[in-house]
Structure formats: C-alpha cells, structure tokens
Amino acid sequence: MTQRPGFGAGLAAALLAVVIWGVQFPVAKDAFAQIDPFHITAIRYLVGTLALLPLVLWREGLQVLRYEGRFASATLHGLIGMCGSPMLVFWGLAHTRPEHTAIIVSTQPVLTALAEWLVRGRRPTRATLLCLLAAVLGAITVITKWDLALVLSPGELKGDLLALGGAICWVSYTLSAERYPAWSSVKFTTLTLIPGTIATLCIVAWSDFNGWLVLPSMLQLQAAGPELVYLSFIGVLVAMLAWNAGLARIGALNAMLLLCLFPVITFAVRYAQGQRFTALELAGAALVVGALAVNNLYQRRLASQARADFSEEVKK
C-alpha cells in the first residue's frame, strides 16, 4: 500500500502527541501537591482555549464559530467531553496512581466498541471481542494485582472508578462527532471546547464561592508553574495540534496503533521517577498494549480486504 504524502512528518507529529499524553499524568500527579485537580483542570483548559482560538480563527475564519442551529447539542457534548471527562479523570488521578489512570484511559477503544454494540447494535467480530476481553483482563491485573485487599481499598478504587467515568464520558463525546458530518474536526473541537471550558470555570468558581474548594495562592501557582505550563500549553495546545496534523497524514488506523504506546510512556516515566512495578503489573500492562495493538492490526486487515473487495466490484 502506498503511503500518503507527508507520512513521515505525520508519524512524527502523532508520536509527539502520544508521548506528551503519556507524560501528562505523572506531571499532573506532581502538580496536585500544590493545587487541587479541579483548579488545574480549569487553568489548563482556560489557557488552552485562549491559546487555541486565535490559531483556529486564523486558519478557519469566523465561520468556525457558527453553531448553525446546533448550539444546544454541541454544548451538551462539550459538557460531557470537554468538562466532565477531564474533571473526572484528574479527580480520579488525585486518588490513584498515574499508571492506573493511563491503563484505564488507554482502554477507550474497548469502551467504544462496547458502546457501539450496546447503543447502535454494531456487534464486534469474535476476534475483536477476544482482544477486548484480553485488554480488560490486563487492566484488572494492573489495577488489582489480583489482591482482594487492593480491590477493596477505598482510596485507589474511588480514583480508578472516577477515571473510568471520565473515560466513558470521552467515549460518548467521541461517538457524538458522527452527528456533525458537515463540521470539520477543528470546528467540532472548537465549538465543544468553548462551552466545556466555560462550564469548568463556572463549576470551580461556584465551588470556591461556597468554600468547597480553596483558591490557590500565588505561591502555589508559582510552585506548580512548570507543571501548569506543560499541562496547559503542551498537554492541550501542542498535543491537540500535533495529533490532528498526524491524523490527517497517516490515517486513523495508524494513529490508533501509535496510541497503544500511551501507557508504555507513562510506565517509563513512573519508573524514571523511582516507581517499581511487580511482574503482575508489567504483565497486565503488556496484555493491554498487546491486545489493543493486535485488534488495531486486525481492523487494518479488515479495511484492506474491504478496499480490495470494492476494487473487484468496480472492475466487474
């Protein structure tokens, strides 16, 4: 199969985004020592949105801000994907380990396939179901290490469940993109990011007003400055632009295969930070990454076969 123009550059861009996201959870976990996850989420999305909007307007023009009669639905999906998902994931991360969160988030293809089956009746193939089962088994192994005491541990279990809720929100958001076929990915991202960011700011401001959260001091902001720069500019702006650029050049299947490396990066960073993993944790992580990669390669084969069958039909 011939490669698309700019394939090498697209591969590098997508890989850059994956590395950024893999590093993001350990960085965020360090930042929580100074600032709570809710204020960090609000800061990163406010900064990311303000930085992204001028670039989007320069590239797409003012028409990118027109909701075309779909303000209510786009706002709802923005609240789910751009507010609920990051808040729940970071809230969960505050109670659990970065490697747990990375594994849970990396199983989003599993959750997507299940959602497609349950909501739209698109049953996965038997091979895909086996891969999904293996990925779930690997995730359970990493999180619980098959130790009942860890399974019943209220702290980490709460964090893992919150992160899972955030992953489910993101799957719902991703599937909702199909409802906007006339919108480009940039337009859909922008028009859902704006209400998601506004909602996040309102929730945090209301929580500060009622005393549920404490507004970070200037000293805390300065102490967490490097992490905030990474999470806001690099984690949101650079990663999003790199991912979209890579996706356009290498295609969804290649991009999703690279995304399987996401938990590998997180585990490597955590190891560099001094965290040591048991054999069960490593085996579980390898099972998740391997299952997702095998399923991706299988989907690639199906797509190639479908193209070949279509070409034969055209020739006839």
SS3 for 217-240 is CHHHHHHCHHHHHHHHHHHHHHHH
Query: How many domains are contained in the chain?
Result: 1
Whether 271 maps to a domain, the answer reads: yes
pLDDT of residue 32: 94
Q: What is the rounded CA–CA span in Å between residue 77 and residue 88?
A: 15
pLDDT of residue 222: 94
Q: What is the rounded CA–CA span in Å between residue 71 and residue 73?
A: 6
Q: What CA dihedral angle connects 145, 21, 83 and 95, to 10 degrees?
A: 30
Whether 1 maps to a domain, the answer reads: no
pTM: 0.85
Q: What is the rounded CA–CA span in Å between residue 257 and residue 245?
A: 16
pLDDT of residue 219: 95
Whether 58 maps to a domain, the answer reads: yes
Whether 2 maps to a domain, the answer reads: no
Whether 114 maps to a domain, the answer reads: yes
**Per-10-residue mean pLDDT, the chain, length 316:** 66 88 92 94 92 88 90 95 94 90 85 82 83 85 72 73 92 86 85 94 96 93 93 86 78 72 88 87 88 80 69 59
pLDDT of residue 55: 86
Whether 72 maps to a domain, the answer reads: yes
pLDDT of residue 202: 97
Whether 141 maps to a domain, the answer reads: yes
What are the Cα distances from residue 87, in Å, to 35, 58, 115, 139, 209?
14, 29, 21, 21, 18
Whether 56 maps to a domain, the answer reads: yes
Evaluated on CA atoms 184, 47, 171, 143, the torsion sign reads positive
Domain span at residue 146 reads 7-315
pLDDT of residue 2: 47
pLDDT of residue 211: 93
Contact call for residues 258 and 18 (beta carbons, < 8 A): yes
pLDDT of residue 306: 67
